[in-house]
A and B are shown apart, each in its own frame.
Chain A
Amino acid sequence: MEPVMVVMCAICLLFFLYQLYKLSEERRNQCCYLVHYECHKPSDDRKLNTKFCGDIIARNKNLGRQEYKFLLRAIVSSGIGEETYGPRNIIECRENSPTLEDGILEMDEVLIDTLDKLFRKTGVSPQDIDVLVVNVSSFASVPSLTSRIINRYKMRDDVKSFNLSGMGCSGSLISLSLVQNILKSYKNAFAVVVASESIGPNWYSGNDKSMMLTNCLFRSGGCSFLLTNKRAFRTRAKLRLKCLVRTHLGASDEAHTCCMQKEDDQGRFGFYLGKNLPKTATLAFIKNITGIAPKVLPLKELIRYIVMKYLGKTATLNLKAGIDHFCLHPGGQAVIEEIRKNLGLSEKDVEPSRMTLHRFGNTSSSSLWYVLGYMEAKKRLKKGDNVWMISFGSGFKCNSCVWEVLRDLEDGNVWGDMIDQYPPKTTANPYMEQYGWVNQETFEPSAAV
């Protein structure tokens, strides 16, 4: 019976080892790699400068002198430059009567441009895509944008498509969280995420001050990126997702109502930004940091912080111990400045966000990718670096994630040749003298996300 027993034991052992190997393979395959991302640069005929914005405001018969001054102040001190892009119906002076076609065309330009380039540069065919997530906050059409993409690129009929909306400026990180979860259950899958915002149909034509700011700050833009969990793409991929933390402050009524879509007293539709927005953003931010810091900072730094706190001394978490690059959502000058002060960052750290705000404006959920593009174009991303992306969204959410750079990145992407002009000597608005009179009265800057 001895040899039989031995043989049986050997078979069991081999089977067990094989199962362990399969399990470990599955664990390894759960990494989420970013293969490539493509930001949208609209055509030059869609550029908006301060003078043009001034004309648009002057056209609005509902605005009195006070509101005119308020808006110009906001535009001039917003940190947004002269080369940002607007939707076509606004450029064509039809901001008050957007048609359904306008909304769809605006989305089409982003989708076609970014997805064509994405598929071409990565060499992945649309038929290989297993998961498709589209995230546009204030646009819902029938059929959805995901169906539009599936139709245009003739994707497979078992593609898992998800169309998220209403998630505000942090939509791309939420889509990323969705894909990360799905890639853990499915082997060898490709996922495409498209993030954009629909500006044209959401123009506010009334005179409520708290609802007019969004008109000034949001600009057209969009981004598509390709993710996978195939090990074979490890050498080709740019970034690897290390961790992602989502924080939702919706339980607090104050946080929930600080930015919402609603109708004003005259029944005009717009986006309301409350005065407690900066405070809510800070609260959400702190809560999010407490979630992500332990996952990303080295043990030494964490121990130092805890010890200092225990001893009663003022301690600030030195995030630069674990993070090399900061991708802050360019929601506005005040937001970037606030975060910079709170985290003790240098000007160089927030330069990518400031420059993105200057060149492209606040493009909502896709703006993080323009910031990442700036860092890459400036050749600052080296192998092994950690990049921290953080964004805020209505509801109120604060989401952040940390990427690890897999190889030295130097693709010029959407910044292209103009990267050498940045940072410019001054980001002050060139129309400061012309419209400078608006700054003569004091007003509280409203941080917008």
Chain B
Amino acid sequence: MAQILPNFSSSVKLKYVKLGYQYLVNHILTFLLIPIMLGILLEILRLGPEEILLLWNSLHFDLVQVLCSWFLVVFIATVYFMSKPRSIYLVDYSCYKPPVTCRVPFSTFMEHSRLILKDNPKSVDFQMRILERSGLGEETCLPPAIHYIPPTPTMEAARGEAEVVIFSAIDSLMEKTGIRPKDIDILIVNCSLFSPTPSLSAMVVNKYKLRSNIKSFNLSGMGCSAGLISIDLARDLLQVHPNSYALVISTEIITPNYYKGSERAMLLPNCLFRMGGAAILLSNKRRDSARAKYKLVHVVRTHKGADDKAYRCVYEQEDPEGKVGINLSKDLMVIAGEALKSNITTIGPLVLPASEQLLFLFTLIGRKMFNPKWKPYIPDFKQAFEHFCIHAGGRAVIDELQKNLQLSSEHVEASRMTLHRFGNTSSSSLWYELSYIEAKGRMKKGDRVWQIAFGSGFKCNSAVWKCNRTIKTPTDGPWQDCIDRYPVHIPEIVKL
């Protein structure tokens, strides 16, 4: 993506012109109304008080007329409020913090790698190089079954991991919100690569004895962007069912999907994916508008599957030895950039202030009519959002998005630090990032957050939240014991 209007951008004076322009356009209504109000005030003063009294007395206030008008006003107000879409509130959310015993520091990972892949030193080298440049830290966690040499991914172990992650997250969420299991009306679980029968949603219903008329859905195979797909589904369901709670669980179960072969492109997920999960409570009840943390503003989904290259860039397949793993293609970043552009084109008009949209429009018209050589205007998303939660897919993804959206390092700090502390926890990483921002005390009432996630297929989904109340630094949560150590500087290459 190119630079903005290169000829003038170096000038300092232009910065103030731009600021003034933004202020003018964004507050245009105020600027128009003030002269009108002044005019009316002057007119009233000119008329004098006696004239006004005369005007007032000349109005005939018939009882019937007054009642009718009042009746109409009330009706129109009711109709207006009934036809507005319901507000969806995020009451609270909770992220799973794996125990210390599951930690995989670099030394452990490399030792395991050397023992398991002892016949393929090149693959071991490859894994080491990936780990050095990955941006992961020493405190990321893998489930117990993967700590065995060789790993023992049985179905029991996978169910065990699912139970630990999901139930811990839900227990902590119920404690924070005070909600009872019988109150939950909608349950959505998303886990991409593990879909046992009965489903994980049935497992949750069983453990917490949820009601028998619960609307439960179990999404799978939708990749790292599944968390936002679940939020989208919850929103659609909450529009139809008034006065309900929706519990959304986003997780990725690593146990059954550890690649046991030696094909290099398929060893990459082993190095990046880590254990994690999040439970989110959404509500459309009016009384939660006071205690909810966030309000959902928009969810935009973009699917680039129609393009063959995009479809094949994250693909599960068998390697020559018949072992199953996920193959990440080399042009993943390019495709991600394209998908992001599509998503931004849809979300831009919904969230950008009028000033940015006008500039974009003018540049577009200018390019079409006057000079096609004008560089396209990249809207400044920092005007629309205070915080950014970019899915911690890998260092390259965060770098690419930082460059494309022209974000500062403080904006992507949450994503980088989540990648460092927790690794790529797939669909739940967005919630760890949000938790980081809250733990740092940066979330204030009215702040807008943009969550972006990519997924296989190729999808780019984004959600916009607005902070409902200033959030005090939480005393619990996954960052509670280490937030003071962050942010850390993550070197380009960590020498192993």
Mark A residues whose CB is within 8 Å of B.
1-2, 5, 9, 12-13, 15-16, 19-20, 22-23, 26, 99-101, 137-138, 140-148, 150-151, 154-168, 174, 177-178, 181-182, 184-185, 245-253, 256, 259-263, 267, 269, 271, 287, 291, 394-397
14 further interface pairs, Cβ-Cβ under 8 Å (given A143-B223, A165-B218): A12-B72, A142-B221, A143-B316, A147-B459, A155-B305, A156-B306, A159-B303, A164-B220, A245-B213, A248-B216, A271-B197, A291-B213, A395-B198, A395-B201
- Chain A residues closer than 8 Å to B41, beta-carbon distance: none
Partner of A100, one of B241, B311, B317: B317
Q: Which residues, 451 to 494 on B, are CB-close (under 8 Å) to A? A: 456-459
Q: Which residues, 189 to 206 on B, are CB-close (under 8 Å) to A? A: 192-203, 205-206
Partner of B195, one of A15, A159, A165: A165
For the complex, would chain A's binding face be called helix, strand, loop or mixed by DSSP majority?
A: mixed
- Chain B residues closer than 8 Å to A154, beta-carbon distance: 306
Are the CB atoms of A394 and B202 closer together than 8 Å?
yes
Are the CB atoms of B196 and A261 closer together than 8 Å?
yes
Contact stretch, chosen from B44-52, B74-82, B137-145: B74-82
Q: Is B308 an interface residue (CB 8 A)?
A: yes
- Chain A residues closer than 8 Å to B308, beta-carbon distance: 151
Q: Which residues, 234 to 271 on B, are CB-close (under 8 Å) to A? A: 236-237, 239-241
Q: Is B26 an interface residue (CB 8 A)?
A: no
- Chain A residues closer than 8 Å to B82, beta-carbon distance: 23
Q: Is B401 an interface residue (CB 8 A)?
A: no
| Closest 10 pairs between A and B when the two form their complex, measured CB to CB | A166-B199, A144-B221, A250-B205, A395-B202, A147-B457, A150-B305, A142-B316, A256-B206, A165-B195, A151-B311
Are the CB atoms of A9 and B212 closer together than 8 Å?
no
Given known pairs A143-B305, A160-B232, A160-B301, the reply for A251 and B154 (CB within 8 Å) is no
Given known pairs A142-B315, A251-B205, A260-B196, the reply for A147 and B76 (CB within 8 Å) is no
Interchain CA distance A22-B216 in the complex, whole Å: 32
Are the CB atoms of B198 and A260 closer together than 8 Å?
yes
- Chain A residues closer than 8 Å to B13, beta-carbon distance: none
Distance between B257 CB and nearest chain A CB, rounded to angstroms:
9
- B156, B212, B306, B307, most chain A CB atoms within 10 A: B212
Distance between B245 CB and nearest chain A CB, rounded to angstroms:
16
Are the CB atoms of A261 and B155 closer together than 8 Å?
yes
Q: Which residues, 78 to 97 on B, are CB-close (under 8 Å) to A? A: 79-80, 82-83, 85
Distance between B124 CB and nearest chain A CB, rounded to angstroms:
25
Interchain CA distance A142-B257 in the complex, whole Å: 11
Contact stretch, chosen from B32-40, B102-110, B318-326: B318-326
**In the complex, what residue of chain A is closest to B155 when comparing beta carbons?**
A263
Q: Is B233 an interface residue (CB 8 A)?
A: yes
Distance between A9 CB and nearest chain B CB, rounded to angstroms:
7
Q: Is B214 an interface residue (CB 8 A)?
A: yes
Are the CB atoms of A263 and B154 closer together than 8 Å?
yes
Are the CB atoms of B215 and A23 closer together than 8 Å?
no
Are the CB atoms of A161 and B303 closer together than 8 Å?
yes
B322-355 contact mask (Cβ, 8 Å, vs A): 1 or 0: 1010100000000000000010001000000000
Interchain CA distance A163-B195 in the complex, whole Å: 11
Distance between A20 CB and nearest chain B CB, rounded to angstroms:
7
Q: Is B217 an interface residue (CB 8 A)?
A: yes
- Chain B residues closer than 8 Å to A158, beta-carbon distance: 301-303, 346
- A178, A247, A256, A395, most chain B CB atoms within 10 A: A395
Q: Is B60 an interface residue (CB 8 A)?
A: yes
